[in-house]
Structure 1
């Protein structure tokens, strides 16, 4: 059912398959906490390609491979000839002949899909400029852990509504029956073709997809408020523009108080909530602000679940790797 399949974007899997991965990730988390071995990939070798830097994705794939009994080799942007002296197709064929699975974190969605087409082994998208599918299993796993359900929940995303995380959240919500609202300036609404795709999934799942510039209306009765950095990797020159556009969409305690009483805060990290980083200090010096997409008060509140969410990257990635490459018995889901 899953064996041998790649995961390059959310629509690679059905609603039932995504729900299975979420539930399986929760199960693997329980095994990890109880120190029960689960070496579904024992003896395998995994290739980790990172064109973009990473903390959570690299750590999660490395530990996931180890927990599953596999070894993992890391390749940074300067470690490979892929796309420079050797085509992606040729690289994929070589790596696929040596490794049992490949993770790719980089810029172009077409690159990870080319790897998946030619490698002959499962390829997992650790992030591209368009999609972030492995993050989604962790995000919706965190929602299910907190609410014991997904269908009918109200998820609100505040900020840049057309980045890879926002795109993935919208499509995954639509598939899984989660009501999704983007609160952002109109110029940062998601692409209309993507909205149309989300609406087509929402009709089947019963979800609603809403785009609005009214941040207060958006978060009223929210079960989860999600935000991300205002400037994505590769867009650092846009800090000034993004701050002016998105400061009204900052997640403050006053804003969070409009959500449901048991609402949670989510962030895929890293977050600019203080000045304890070099970038945070630069922003404070240049723009006279100490917090960006979320205030430190919300980030450190009891409602904040971003570190559970971050840990869940491990368990969700483990579920994806095991399901697609572990020769598990999985009954027909659809």
Structure 2
């Protein structure tokens, strides 16, 4: 993965199809301990949003590589007092080897990366969640062996996860369908970006019909109906999104061997029923574990671990 050394990952579109597959292969080798890598470097975590899986998986991944982690909680740094992004970026660039940022605006992430020479990784913005989707693709590959030609349907809010899923599936040679209520569709620029990546070899479909979107698919995926920062909208969204719940009826329309994914945290019996989440077709816990393995592969690649 020499081609990734020193590079940022701000969007899945920063990667090529070959680089995605090589990352997934490395992640699988690291998980099975077929490959062991060492990297005595320092990772900084600058998170402006709450996090469980992203924070812990990045931390454990870096420790297992032999590196160190500094949790740069904005509340105890000068970021909370309004220090400009470009100033923070140029200072941290001189202390750290790699930085993972979890923030609201994609533009803030891109500004940070433009002022820092070290690799900057998107650990979630309002626009994208690329590291999540690397783990998702790894989980699907574990279940089916080959990603090419599979179809994934995402049902729910057209949020950052939906955006990254479109890009990730396009890069992996998968078809992707996004089913949302009217007015909650994914970012139109990302839709067109994903379609351009497919080069008409696979499809990127956006629809308001959840049953049509789920028919015969290999993977069903959902996320909470109100993302971080939208909690005040949760009650209003509930009746709008109810037809988009992944339940046993919706699952029965998919391929009999379909798997179910959720990026977590889940609001059980809202966007997904408890029965489906705990059912035999759920791969949610494997998916959560794979965050660590996929991110370990990414860190090792951008840092040039040996």
The CA distance in 2 between the partners of 1:152 and 1:256, in whole Å, is 20
Q: Distance in 2 between matches of 1:63 and 1:216?
A: 39
The alpha carbon displacement at 1:192 in A equals: 2.3
Matches within 5 A, 1:252-331: 252-273=247-268, 291-327=269-305
Aligned partners of 2:305 and 2:115: how far apart in 1?
A: 21
Structure 2: 5+ residue runs without aligned partners?
none
3-state SS of 2:256 partner: coil
Query: What value does the CA root-mean-square deviation take over the aligned residues?
Result: 1.4
Query: Alpha-carbon deviations, 1:138-160, whole Å to 9, x = none?
Result: 00000101001111101000011
Match of 1:221 among 201, 216, 220: 216
* One of 125, 130, 144 as aligned partner of 2:127: 130
**5 Å matches for 1:80-99?**
80-82=77-79, 84-99=81-96
The CA deviation at 1:186 is 2.3
Counterpart-to-counterpart distance in 1, 2:106 and 2:93: 19
TM superposition shift of 1:95: 0.6
Please give the per-residue CA displacement for 1:168-220, whole angstroms capped at 9, x wherever unaligned. Answer: 1011112221100011112111232222212111225x110111222111111
Number of the residue aligned with 2:166? 170
Contact 1:173/1:207, CA 8 A, preserved across alignment: no
1:64–1:317 Cα contact (<8 Å) kept = yes
Inter-partner Cα distance in structure 2 for 1:246 and 1:196:
25
Kept in 2: contact 1:37–1:67 (CA 8 A): no
Unaligned runs of 5+ residues in structure 1 are 274-290, 329-334
Aligned length: 304
TM-score (norm 2): 0.96
Which residue of 2 is the match for residue 11 of structure 1?
13
Partners of 2:37 and 2:305 within 8 A in 1: no
> How has the CA–CA distance of structure 1 residues 69 and 237 changed in structure 2, closer, same or farther, with 3 Å as cutoff?
same
Question: Which residue matches 2:141?
Answer: 144
Please give the alpha-carbon distance, in whole angstroms, between the structure 1 residues aligned to 2:36 and 2:30: 10
Structure (1 or 2) with the larger CA radius of gyration: 1
Deviation at 1:82, TM superposition (A): 2.5
In 1: Cα distance, 2:80 partner to 2:111 partner: 11
The reply on whether 1:249 has 2:251 as its aligned counterpart is no
Tell me how far apart the structure 2 counterparts of residues 249 and 156 of structure 1 sit (CA, whole Å): 11
Residue 26 (structure 1) aligned to one of 25, 28, 44:
28
| Residue deviations 1:211-254 (CA, integer Å, cap 9, x gap) | 12221111111100000000000001111221111000100111
